[in-house]
Amino acid sequence: MIFVTGDCHMEYQKFNMANFPEQKNLTREDYMIICGDFGLWDDSKEQRYWLDWLSNKSFTLLFVDGNHENFHLLNSYEITKWHGGKIHRIRENLIHLMRGQVYEIDQKNRNKKAL
């Protein structure tokens, strides 16, 4: 299953069980896509706490960068391939989808024409 949401700006509480109860039955093969402004700001204790908290979620969280990211920090992560495109893997299930890439997610990609 694929879920999509907008800007987080480091307000990750939207992914707690009360706000997102659907996650109860999700696995790492289910995806939440954040369309910009995930909120990767720094390497502070608070930021590490929230990244670790998100890494304990049962689903995979994908995000596209927005104008509210620390690009120096974001680009310090190793570039790897995932589902057909380049990524920065922040945690096992926390992935930055890099600009200009095409990904196949849940057997779909933007290049396939709708029937």
Residue 80 CB burial class (10 angstroms; 0-12, 13-18, ≥19) = exposed
pLDDT score of 15 more than 90: yes
Range 41-57 average pLDDT: 95
Q: Distance of alpha carbon 100 from its chain centroid, rounded? A: 16
How confident is the model at residue 113, as a pLDDT? 53
Token output for 88: 């920065």
For residues 1 and 26, give the distance between their C-alpha atoms in angstroms, rounded to a whole number. Answer: 8
Range 88-111 average pLDDT: 89
Share of the chain above pLDDT 70, in %: 93
For residues 32 and 62, give the distance between their C-alpha atoms in angstroms, rounded to a whole number. Answer: 6
Whether the model clears a pTM of 0.85, i.e. scores above it, the answer is yes
> Tens digits of per-residue pLDDT, 80-97?
999 999 999 999 999 999
Whole-number Cα distances in Å, 43 to 4, 54, 97, 98: 26, 15, 20, 20
pLDDT score of 115 more than 50: no
